[in-house]
Amino acid sequence: FMRNGGVDVTMNWKGRYKEYLNLMKSGVMVDVVLVLKSLFYLNLIKPLSFREKKMMEKAKELVVSEISEVSSSPSSEIEKRVFDMLSLCFKNVSSRVDS
């Protein structure tokens, strides 16, 4: 799920924030991963608002701690793997931003 490139970020930041907040409150890990993935993508194409940055950090913490707990792996290792996967997922986007 994390590796495929599909995200929908068509709403304005207020609409996205409300939707992402509801997804985060659901407590469903797939929803939290979707929030992290969407905000990671947005961060590649434009600066995130303060609230979006805080939400991305919270989503990252939740995903990393959950995977770390389940896999009995160190959080630092899981965080690196998560961001490596996200970077790979959006490798074409980041190369467009860099050029």
String of DSSP letters for 72-99: T--HHHHHHHHHHHHHHHTHHHHHHHH-
Query: Which residue is listed with tokens 């997922």?
Result: 89
What pLDDT sits at residue 99?
Answer: 43
Q: What is the pTM of this model?
A: 0.82
pLDDT above 90 covers a percentage of the chain that reads: 60
The pLDDT of residue 6 is: 61
| pLDDT tens digit sequence for 29-55 | 999 999 999 999 899 988 998 999 999
Domains of the chain plus CATH, in order, are 13-98 (1.20.58.1290)
Closest CA to 65 of 42, 36, 86: 36
For the purposes of burial, counting CB atoms within 10 Å of the CB of 96, is it exposed (0-12), middle (13-18) or buried (19 or more)?
exposed
With 90 as the cut, is the pLDDT of residue 15 above it?
no
